Chains A and B, each alone.
Chain A
Amino acid sequence: MLARILSVGLLAGLVAGLLVAVLQQVTTTPLIVAAEVFETRLSDHPATTAQKAHEHGAHEHGAHEHDEGWKPADGLPRLFYTSLATIVTAVGVALVLLAAMLVAGEEIDERHALAWAIAGFVAFGLAPAAGLAPELPGSAAADLAARQIWWVATGCATAIAIWMFFKAKKAVPRVLALAVLLAPHVIGAPRPHELVSRAPAELAAQFAALSLAVQASLWVLVGIAIGLLWPRLAGRPAT
C-alpha cells in the first residue's frame, strides 16, 4: 500500500510540478523579477520618513534578506531551483491529498480526486489569501512567523470545515462548520503596521490574481494526475 501511495504521489507531483513550473515561468516569475527591480531601486534612493519607518519597523527583515547568503543566480539556476521547489511542493501536496482521501475512506478516481483537490485549493489557497493576499517582494507585511501560523491555521480550519459540512447531514454540525470556516477571518490575519509597499499596485494586483490561478492549477493538476494514476498503479491483484 505504501509503495503504491508513494509511487502515485511522486509521479503525480512530478507531472503536475513540471507543468506548473512552466506556467510560473511565464506568469508569476516575470512579475517577481520586475518587483525586485522596484524593490532594489527604491531601497537605493533616499527614503521618505514613511519608507524609513517601514524598513526599520514592520519590514526590517524584508528586502535585505535577498542580499544575504547564497541564492541562485538569475537565469537558468533560478529557473532550476524554482522548478525544483515547485515539483517538491507538488509531490508533498499529492502525498497529503492521497493520505487524506485514504483516511476518509474515499474512493480514489478522477472525479473524487479532482473534487478533493478543488477543496484543497479552497482551504489552502483561497481562504488564506482572503486574509493574506499573495504578495510580491517588497510588499508591506507583518511578522513572518505570525503570518505563517495564521496561514496554516486558516488552511486547516477551512479544510476541517469543508469536510464537516459535506459529511454532516444535520443543520447543527453544518452551522458549526460555517463557524469554523469563518473563525480565522473574524480573528483576523496579522496586519503590517503601515501599508507601505515598494511594489507598484498594478504589478501587485496582477500578481495576486495570477498567483491564485497558478496555485489552483497546481491543486487541479495534482488531483487529475492522482485520479488517473491511482487505478493504473494498483498493487497485488488480490487488493
Chain B
Amino acid sequence: MASTSVPVSRSTERQETLRAASVAALLGLSLVFLTGFAQPQLLHNAAHDTRHSLSFPCH
C-alpha cells in the first residue's frame, strides 16, 4: 500500500510546494518593486535613502 501511495503523495506535495512558492515569489517581487522601483513620488520619497543605500537605480 505504501509503495503505491508514496509517488502520488510526493507529486501532490511537489505541486503544493510549487503553488506556494509562486505566491511567495509574486508577493516578494511586489514588495521589492514597491520599495525599489515604483515611480510614484510618494513611494520614491519614502524609500529614497533605501533605494540609494541598496543601489537601486534612483532619480
Query: Which residues in A have some Cβ–Cβ distance to B below 8 Å?
Result: 1-2, 5-6, 9, 24, 28-29, 32, 61-62, 65-66, 68-72, 78, 81-82, 84-86, 88-89, 91-100, 102-103, 125, 128-129, 132-137, 141, 144, 147-148, 151-152, 207, 211-212, 214-215, 218, 239
Contact = CB atoms under 8 A, between A and B. Distances in A.
Q: Is the interface of B mostly helix, strand, loop or mixed?
A: helix
Nearest to B31: A92
A32 B32 contact: no
B55 A128 contact: yes
Most chain B beta-carbon contacts within 10 A, residue among A1, A72, A133: A1
Nearest to A24: B53
Contact of B20 (A2, A71, A152): A2
Contact of B22 (A29, A65, A99): A99
B55 A103 contact: no
Contacts of A24: 49-50, 53
A5 B55 contact: no
B25 A100 contact: yes
B7 to A, nearest CB: 16
Q: Is the interface of A mostly helix, strand, loop or mixed?
A: helix
Interface of B: 13, 16-25, 27-32, 34-37, 41-42, 44-59
B25 A239 contact: no
Contacts of A99: 21-22, 24-25, 28
Contacts of A92: 27-32, 35
B55 to A, nearest CB: 4
A1 B16 contact: yes
Given A1-B20, A61-B59, A103-B18, A86 B53 contact: yes
Contacts of A207: 52
Contact of A132 (B21, B53, B54, B57): B57
A128 B37 CA distance: 14
B55 A215 contact: yes
Contact of B47 (A2, A81, A97): A81
Nearest to A207: B52
A46 B42 CA distance: 30
A133 B19 CA distance: 36
30 contacts: A2-B20, A2-B23, A5-B20, A24-B49, A28-B53, A61-B59, A72-B46, A81-B47, A82-B48, A84-B46, A85-B46, A85-B50, A86-B53, A89-B31, A89-B35, A93-B28, A97-B28, A99-B22, A100-B21, A102-B21, A103-B18, A103-B21, A134-B55, A135-B58, A144-B59, A151-B57, A152-B37, A207-B52, A211-B55, A239-B13
B8 to A, nearest CB: 15
Contacts of A152: 37
Contacts of B46: 71-72, 81, 84-85
